[in-house]
Amino acid sequence: MVGAVLSGRETGGADDAAVETIGLSRRFGDLDAVAGLDLRVERGQIFGFLGPNGAGKTTTIKMLCGLLEPTGGSARVAGCDIRRERDAIKRATGYMAQTFSLYPDLTSEENFRFFGGVYGIQGREADRRLAEVFSQLDIDEIRRTEAGALSGGWKQRLALACALVHSPRLLFLDEPTAGVDPSQRQRMWDFLYELCEGGTSLFVTTHYLDEAERCHSVGFMLGGRLIAQGPPAKLRERLRQRLVGAEVQRVVEATRALRGLPGVSDVTIHGHELRVLFEEPVDWEAAAERLHQVAEGAGAPLRRVYPLEPTLEDLFIGYARGHATAA
């Protein structure tokens, strides 16, 4: 067992990915939850796994963690085959589930020691690991608190601590910041960067697109398929010169009018700002003229029009509505 872990480490050459899937698929009856997934996550990176609910993110994570058998394709996780080297994968990876899944009637320390125990970490080693991880995640003060009595942010950090008990090289986090307040989210991300710096690869699903911007690389799932992957900046590049902003008082009327304009793929409202996405790159000054005209005609004159820097959110809203083209 130890041999498998070591050999995994040794054979893992410089270009060995943290996760690599080829045509990975999972059917549930008639439903293709994940269809032909080709994914590559580099080592030492934070990979953001995005997509709307039901896109197949959790199914993918479960397959990669060995909780679910794939119905097609293959994958290597931490250098090990997910079908044949399940045990080695389990020792090399950690998993933090979407819902809090520790024992509420046990204290933080007892939860940590239990999971340590099942990974074979006990005695002095467990003491050392407990001190290390608890101080790193700053949860020493809740050591003797029952996990069920903790609030959201503490729970997430404790769950992270338990997922880290065996020092995994790759950590899967399913919605690690769901239902946590912004300052706790901030804190969580600080920990994730710290881990990443320490050499751990992270595979994170999230709903928050501002969090996705922080990842080294992201993948976007839709309907069980991966429709885009790459560093956020590179993905945003696809929308360069296709996004124009407009300030307007009567946002609803203006949106309705602009959506009907030929060449406009989508319009989203952000307060008094409309973000207008064009199907092709446009010269924003030329476009501004048309926008003013149409809005005026609809009785919702635009105050000003200006070029916009695209965000991942623009891209993914576009994908989700089928307006952005996958490349």
Partner 1 sequence: MRNVYHLALKEFLHLWRDRRTLVFLLLMPSIMTVLFGYAIGNPKVTALRTRVLDRDGGRIGSEYVEAIEGSLTFKPDVVPDATEADVARAEEDLRTDRIAAFVVLPDGLTRDADQGRPAKVRVVVDASDTFAAPAILRELASTTVQQNSFLAANLRVRDGKARTTEDGLHQVAPIELAHELRYNPDLKTQNFVMPGVIGLILQLLTVIVMSTSIARERERGTMDQLAVTPLTPAEIFVGKLLPYFLISLVVTVNVMLLAWWLFGVSLSGHLSVVAALVVSFVLGSLGVGQVISIVSRNQSQAVQLAVFFILPAFVLSGAFTPIETQPEAVRPIAYLFPLTYFCRGFRAALLRQATLYDLRVDLAAMGLFVLVAFGASVLLLRSRRD
Residues 249-268 that bind partner 1 (CB under 8 A): none
| Binding status of residue 110 toward partner 1 by CB under 8 A | yes
| Binding status of residue 198 toward partner 1 by CB under 8 A | no
Identified binder of partner 1 from the candidate list 6, 22, 31, 118, rule CB under 8 A: 118
With CB under 8 A as the contact rule, which of the stretches 30-38, 107-115, 221-229, 243-251 interacts with partner 1?
107-115
- How many whole angstroms separate alpha carbon 154 and alpha carbon 319? 34
Describe the strand order of the beta sheet including 201-205 as a list of residue ranges.
93-96, 170-174, 201-205, 46-50, 217-222, 225-230
Q: How far is the CB of 180 from partner 1 (least distance, A)?
A: 17
Residues 69-88 that bind partner 1 (CB under 8 A): 69, 87
| Nearer to partner 1 among residue 107 and residue 217 (C-beta) | 107
| Binding status of residue 42 toward partner 1 by CB under 8 A | no
Interaction mask 43-62, partner 1, x per CB under 8 A: -------------------x
Residue 285 corresponds to which tokens in the numbers above?
Answer: 């000054």
- How many whole angstroms separate alpha carbon 269 and alpha carbon 275? 6
| Nearer to partner 1 among residue 104 and residue 231 (C-beta) | 104
The alpha-helical segments, DSSP class H, found in the chain are: 2-11, 57-65, 86-92, 108-118, 123-136, 152-163, 182-197, 209-212, 232-236, 251-259, 284-297, 312-321
Q: Strand, helix or coil at 94?
A: strand
| Nearer to partner 1 among residue 93 and residue 108 (C-beta) | 93
- How many whole angstroms separate alpha carbon 161 and alpha carbon 100? 12
Tokens 């990842």, residue? 215
Interaction mask 145-184, partner 1, x per CB under 8 A: -x---------------x----------------------
| Nearer to partner 1 among residue 87 and residue 309 (C-beta) | 87
Identified binder of partner 1 from the candidate list 114, 213, 290, 307, rule CB under 8 A: 114
- Torsion of the alpha carbons at 125, 127, 128 and 129, rounded to the nearest 10: 80
- How many whole angstroms separate alpha carbon 73 and alpha carbon 34? 11
- Residues near partner 1 (CB under 8 A): 1, 62, 65-69, 87, 90-91, 93-95, 97, 99-106, 110, 114-115, 117-120, 122, 146, 162
